[in-house]
Amino acid sequence: MFSHLIVRREGPVEYVSLNRPDVRNAFNEELIAELTGWATTIHGDREVRAVVLSGAGKSFCAGADITWMAKTIEFSEDDNMRDAAAASRMFGALNTLPVPLIGRIHGAALGGGVGLAAVCDIVVADHDTQFGFTEVKLGILPAVISPFVLEKIGRSAARELFLTGSRFSARRAQEIGLVHAVVGIAELDATVHNYLQECLTGGREAIAAAKALIAQVWDQPFEDAMPITAAALARRRVSAEGQEGLRAFLEKRKPGWSRS
């Protein structure tokens, strides 16, 4: 079904792996189209409760395919706009998945590869991973990933790292908020598994609502956030899922929707 992705479903968990290992999973037009199409199906799939995003072979993702980008010199401005917009839509579709998106990062996450890490809710990285916004070294810039990256790392780190294009360690990525857990390669899968187990004990709709709430509230003044937060909590309390979760706690049992 896909040429550049490996997709597998295990119970309620969807595993998606970028699969262009010869070019360190750099993304070209086809990979962007496949990942966007795949994300669209997940948006409408009520069975899936969490997604793990990884890269096949030596590295997670070396960003945009430089060979493909070099060819864009032959493109018109409209073609270039269309291509950039497609990449932007891919990041947007991943960023708004209604389930936890867990990044399993190893080897290298560069350019758009860091963008992929930035749209993940939870990021687990091997401590030898190299990160970097290397775009300026190629005479381009980290543009379409910037909304997602800035939200995670803030302006100060972006000013340093976007402008220097320097590569940085997994530890530094953790310090600036891109990565949540740094472990040895041998513990990568077990760490992802632990996060998955936690996610599967939460209500699917509650998790989707929590994710949407963060996006709505994070840059709002309290006065504007207050009606949004109150309405969100009120809706959850009276929902079937919320009522079942509250009753299950009082009756000392697992909620019917728990998948752990």
Binding residues (CB under 6 A) for ligand COA: these are 23-24, 26, 58-59, 62-67, 108, 110-111, 134-135, 138
**Cβ closer to ligand COA: 26 or 196?**
26
What is the distance between the terminal CA atoms of the chain, rounded to a whole angstrom?
Answer: 30
CB 192 within 8 A of CB 125: no
Beta strands 13-18 and 5-10, pairing class: antiparallel
**Cβ closer to ligand COA: 66 or 208?**
66
Which of 217, 191, 206, 216 has the alpha carbon at shortest distance from 243?
206
**Distances from the Cα of 97 to the Cαs of 91, 130, 212, 227, in angstroms?**
10, 26, 10, 24
**Cβ closer to ligand COA: 132 or 242?**
132
CB of 111 to ligand COA, least distance (A): 3
CB of 66 to ligand COA, least distance (A): 4
Separation between Cα atoms, residue 150 and residue 159, nearest integer Å: 10
Separation between Cα atoms, residue 193 and residue 124, nearest integer Å: 10
CB of 53 to ligand COA, least distance (A): 17
CB of 21 to ligand COA, least distance (A): 9
CB of 181 to ligand COA, least distance (A): 22
**Cβ closer to ligand COA: 129 or 191?**
129
**Cβ closer to ligand COA: 26 or 101?**
26
Separation between Cα atoms, residue 55 and residue 77, nearest integer Å: 31
Nearest to ligand COA by Cβ — which residue? 111
Task: Tell me the residue length of the chain.
Answer: 260
